[in-house]
């Protein structure tokens, strides 16, 4: 990918930052460039001038199809409002503070997720990302061969690879917790064809044709390998940042944050998760 002057690597292990970008008026050409950078670098932070919910939604619809939420009474039912305003300690324990891949409990998985920071705390509230392509490539060849054709069973709920202290995933309203879907543990990215580990925890409940204890041991070993510092980066949200990540090739985890007491520790994020890819990539 050609570097341009408004793109620079983030200080962490991976991901890039893009400045001087007019998100609401981005051309098809610029969007394609941006998305190729997203698929190559897995995580992109756009330094925006501020985005209304309408602008965020319009932009996201050019990147994929927003996954509808159950909040049909809201003005923007595709936008989740994620915040620590008025949270109680019980709710706080049920967040996304565990390694996961968005929508891995569904057959049609998420392509990308976008978080737009409306209010950011002075400290805390970071999001952690793990580069699953780098983790895959660093596996010994024998392990790559061993896992090549394995199919993982995913169900919403606590994964067999959950770690002590992981927060319990929140089930979407009306979701049937008994539904099992199957995803290969090694996938190719739909656009770049790069091989990656996919959703090795979060919703993993077993491996097809494998004894439960063997499945748990193998997935656990993959987790211990992937969630090492060398593959992980941490993003600190700043107001007006739009963070986008590629779901097939990354996993992420929120960090727990206490209830807000004032502007200095308030976190408010507008979130849209997408499936599918824009037509600019149709061959
Ligand atoms: O709040 C965060 O840092 C990330 C939450 C999350 O997992 C998501 O938006 O998909
Ligand atoms: Fe998530």
Model confidence over 84-109: pLDDT tens digits? 888 765 555 567 889 999 999 999 98
Pocket test for ligand 1, best of 84, 115, 168, 258 (most atoms within 8 A of CB): 115
Give CATH for domain 7-281: 3.60.130.10
SS3 of residue 61 by DSSP: helix
pLDDT tier, 69 (very low <50, low <70, confident <90, very high otherwise):
confident
Percent of the chain with pLDDT over 90: 77
User: Domain residue spans in the chain?
Assistant: 7-281
Residue 103 alpha carbon to ligand 1 centre in Å? 12
What are the pocket residues of ligand 1 if the criterion is a CB atom closer than 6 Å to any ligand atom? Answer: 82, 96, 102, 113, 115, 127, 252, 254, 271
Residue 11, classified by CB atoms within 10 Å of its CB into exposed (0-12), middle (13-18) or buried (19+), is exposed
- Using CA of residue 196, residue 202, residue 203, residue 207, what is the dihedral sign? positive
Pairing of strands 80-83, 268-275: antiparallel
Q: Looking at residue 82, what DSSP letter applies? A: E
pTM, rounded to two decimals? 0.94
Q: How confident is the model over 137-146, as a mean pLDDT?
A: 98
Ligand closest to CA 96: 1
Task: Note residues around ion ligand 2 (Cβ under 5 angstroms).
Answer: 96, 102
């Amino acid at each position: 990918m050609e570097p341009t002057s408004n793109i620079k690597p983030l200080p962490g292990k991976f991901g890039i930052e893009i400045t001087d970008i007019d998100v609401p008026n981005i051309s098809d050409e610029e969007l394609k460039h941006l998305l190729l950078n997203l698929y190559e670098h897995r995580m992109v932070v756009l330094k925006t001038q501020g985005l209304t919910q309408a602008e965020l939604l319009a932009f996201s619809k050019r990147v994929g199809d927003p996954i509808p939420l159950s909040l049909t009474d809201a003005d923007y039912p595709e936008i989740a409002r994620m915040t620590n305003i008025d949270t109680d300690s019980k709710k706080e324990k049920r967040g996304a503070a565990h390694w996961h891949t968005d929508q891995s409990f569904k057959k049609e998985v998420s392509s990308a997720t976008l978080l737009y920071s409306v209010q950011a705390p002075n400290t805390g509230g970071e999001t952690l990302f793990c580069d699953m392509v780098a983790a895959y490539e660093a596996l010994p060849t024998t392990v790559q061969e061993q896992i090549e054709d394995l199919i993982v069973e995913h169900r919403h709920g606590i994964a067999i690879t959950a770690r002590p202290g992981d927060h319990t995933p929140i089930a979407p309203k009306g979701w049937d917790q008994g539904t099992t879907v199957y995803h290969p543990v090694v996938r190719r990215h739909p656009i770049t064809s790069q091989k990656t580990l996919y959703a090795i925890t979060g919703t993993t409940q077993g491996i097809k044709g494998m004894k439960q204890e063997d499945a748990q041991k193998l997935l656990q070993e993959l987790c211990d390998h992937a969630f090492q510092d060398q593959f992980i980066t941490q993003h600190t949200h700043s107001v007006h940042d739009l963070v986008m990540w590629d779901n097939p090739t990354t996993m992420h985890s929120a960090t727990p944050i206490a209830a807000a007491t004032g502007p200095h520790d308030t976190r408010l994020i507008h979130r849209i998760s997408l499936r599918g890819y824009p037509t600019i990539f149709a061959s």
